[in-house]
Amino acid sequence: MNAGLRLGYREQVAGPAVPELDGVLSTSDSDLTAAAADFGNWIQHRPLAVLRPGSAADVAAIVRYGRQHGLAVVARGSGNSVGGQAQIRDGISVTMRSLAGIHRCGPDSISVQAGATWSAVAAATLPKGLIPPVLPDFLELTVGGTLSAGGIGGTSHRYGAQADNVRDLEVVTPDGELVSCSPTRNPDLFDAVRGTQGEHGIITRATLELILAPRAARRYLLRYRDFGTFLADQRLLIADQRFDSLLGQARHTGTGWEFVTEAVRTYRPPAQPDDRSLLDGLSHDRSAEHAETLGFRDFLHRLDPLVAELRSTGSWQRQPHPRCNVLLPGRHASAIILGVLDASGPEDIGLGGSVLIYAIPTERLVAPNMPKARDPLTVVFGLQRTAPLGDLATLRWMRQDNDALRAVATLLGGVGYSEVTAYHKARRQGRRG
């Protein structure tokens, strides 16, 4: 498209012409409507145009164009944000999924474009017996999206964030330059773009660290009635590193909350995990203990059946998801989390929602701009809420409760995770911040 952008809803501007592109700059109603929404399903910001780049050079060219003509430009991955982070009103939305190439899988690293999903990365590396050290629970997130947020998962207590396990990046800066960066080449940019939600540039390619992939996973679900005991056992397990992946949840039983740690030991047969030694010294309810062995690929995709079920009901696509994730300081985590849960029931989380709770040693989160708590222990607390379709009062209440949690977390030394700052809000609403 080189006939000029529609720069206003009522005024057609004949020029200046859009630069020549390898991809497509679309103003079709279907593309604009798709880019105006995300997984959160409660914020709508309609762009003026959607770029499906054919190259990283396209992203650079459209950023320069936007800068010259007062149009904000925002990158969008798979659209799994929940608060409008990847939306832009009256600007240009860049759909990074068209840059999803996977290249050069070597003995300890892989080069991928930013729009590749983590499921595609795993599919490329597992046949070679390799895997990135940290993967998200939901593998359909994009590499560029999670690196821009920081990227945490069940193995972060060992390996830190995904942002800590990347060798180099290709970035389009806010000035529209296409720049390579690493710890030794343009290190300030390398540090600036990891964990800052695109504030300092759009990641277009990454070289990811790889480690030897296991072949199987022994997965334990350890149940607790007492939160203090639950968190104390998590502290023990991240200290002695006996498990490779550690995640936790709070689940409402109908009469109150119980706490479940998912502890996973991965291995390569003929070696076998020893249940007795792995569970020695823990204080969970042994009568409710559950253990199973999975192939490693099946373990990585363990959420797929749940997602398929939510899609089949339409909840995934249509219901609002006013989620809130905060990183809490360990010294205040119990008081904050119990305060929230004591005042909450399953209706405050919503059908298909969940509550995540797991701990990461803060020293593992090395990237300078990676969100983390001001405490030796960072505790992830995620309210993965789902609001009833059409129930604006409940949606409003959930959002207000999320805001109150973020405010308390920030006051006590925590931070919101995958949040949009005031700077980002200004850009996504089409203002200069």
pLDDT on residue 16? 62
In Å, how far are 11, 204, 428 from 71, measured between CA atoms?
Answer: 15, 20, 10
What is the tens place of the pLDDT at every residue in 277-334? 999 999 999 999 999 999 999 999 999 999 999 999 999 999 999 999 999 999 999 9
Q: In 10 A of CB 145, how many CB atoms?
A: 28
Report the chain's mean pLDDT, rounded to a whole number: 92
Look up tokens 């390898």; give the residue. 22
Fold of 102-212: 3.30.465
pLDDT number for residue 352:
87
Helix (H, G, I), strand (E, B) or coil at 133: coil
**C-alpha to C-alpha distance for 245 and 264, rounded to whole angstroms:** 5
What integer pLDDT is reported at residue 420 of this predicted model? Answer: 53
Class of domain 24-98: alpha beta
Query: DSSP character for 163?
Result: G
The Cα–Cα gap between 37 and 108 comes to 37
Q: Return the pLDDT at 255.
A: 92
Neighbours of 67 (CB within 10 A): 14
Q: Is the pLDDT of residue 6 over 90?
A: no
Q: Give the SS3 label for residue 234.
A: helix
Which element (helix H / strand E) includes 426?
Answer: helix 422-428
**Residue 31 phi/psi, 5° resolution?**
-70, -40
Q: Which of 104, 105, 106, 66 is nearest to 88 (CA)?
A: 66
The domain defined by 216-416 carries CATH number 3.40.462.10 = yes
CA nearest neighbour of 75 among 207, 197, 205, 206: 197
pTM over 0.75: yes
The tens digit of pLDDT for each residue in 234-266 reads: 999 999 999 999 999 999 999 999 999 999 999
Condensed to tens digits (0 to 9), the pLDDT of residues 13-71 reads: 334 688 999 999 999 999 999 999 999 999 999 999 999 999 999 999 999 999 999 99
CB 208 within 8 A of CB 112: yes
- Distance CA(138)–CA(302), nearest Å, equals 9
**Under 8 Å CB-to-CB from 314, ≥6 apart: which residues?**
none
At 285, which amino acid appears? Answer: D
pLDDT score recorded for residue 358? 97
Domain ranges of the chain: 24-98, 102-212, 216-416
